[in-house]
Amino acid sequence: MTQKRITDDLQALLGVLPPAVAESVVQANNSDNLLEIILDLGRVPVARFVDKEVPLSKGEVTRNEIDYVVSRIGEFDADNRAGLERTLHRISAIRNRRGHIVGLTCRVGRAVYGTIDIIQDLVESGKSILLLGKPGIGKTTMLREAARILAEKKRVIIVDTSNEIGGDGDVPHPAVGRARRMQVATPTLQHEVMIEAVENHNPEVIVIDEIGRELEALAARTIAERGVQLVATAHGRTLENLLLNPTLSDLVGGIESVTLSDEEAHRRGTQKTVLERRAPPTFDILVELQERDRLVVHNDVAASVDELVRGYPLRPEVRSRDENG
């Protein structure tokens, strides 16, 4: 297994927090497992770690403390996210009905080198890959590493909607290597930038975080049909629930109801009305991140969807770092 190297530049994030809160984070002495810091007006500040939550003071967060943080970070985008220049940290705002910020989620962004070893053979296969998994399990970290490795030999463009892959600011974070990065003005325009990347910049690979809308799913299909490799993440945890998502099911081919002839139904031993895959999948391979060091691989998405709709048991490949290490 490749030796992991982690860079999180935590001091940059601590530098924008109220001093008392930052000091409490340091005293917790568990920075490797720190996921995010929560500052909600009128509530106790909290640090969320991989396995627990820790209060950072006995006093409630004040308006002055919220304003203190906001004054030290970049502007919030249309999706209420802001970042710190040349880092991977992300600060997301919660606003009241008048548009005033009443809560902040300060997510620790990390560049982890060596996370892609478990699927590096898939990433370098030239096939399009879709990563699924719950929030915080490491999809974006893996995506960033995939972009860096692919960019060593291919023309890679990252479509970076929230600057979560390449970091905030005009210069991408070194963790993406030679990959080029296109920023997206507002989340609703992500599909347009995806198409623009293909038409204007001649990529061999496009990397996208969080395909979540129907237009983005359509853009992904258009890109794949032009022979460009896609490496992306999407909302969902398993192939089954992605297939049942009407917005995103096209990524794996979608399903439709088909009426068979009497002869065909008899031959198959099924009812006359059955479910079948509607189209070839946009992505060749689907990876379910079940845990940080354990994942399930569907090496042939079309075959897996066909087995699912016919009620056959799936036989995906299970990989873990314990076995690979």
Which domains, and CATH codes, for the chain?
5-107 (3.30.450.90), 113-324 (3.40.50.300)
CA Rg, the chain, in Å? 22
Tell me the two tokens of residue 9: 């530049």
| Residue linked to tokens 């982690």 | 6
Our measurement of the distance from residue 112's CA atom to the centroid of its chain's CA atoms, rounded to an integer in Å, reads 14
pLDDT in tens, the chain (325 residues): 445 667 778 999 999 999 999 999 999 988 888 999 999 999 999 999 988 999 999 999 999 999 999 999 978 988 899 989 888 999 999 999 999 999 999 999 888 888 899 999 999 999 999 999 988 788 999 999 999 999 999 999 999 988 889 998 899 999 999 999 999 988 899 999 999 999 999 999 999 999 999 999 999 999 999 999 999 999 889 999 899 899 999 999 988 877 777 777 667 677 777 778 889 999 999 999 998 889 999 999 999 999 998 888 899 999 998 644 4
- Spatial strand order of the sheet with 129-133 comes to 180-183, 156-160, 205-211, 229-234, 129-133, 285-291, 294-298, 317-320
Residue 197 · residue 157 · CB < 8 Å: yes
CA distances from 93 to 66, 161, 174, 290, 316 (A): 10, 16, 26, 28, 39
| CA pair distance 282, 220, nearest whole angstrom | 7
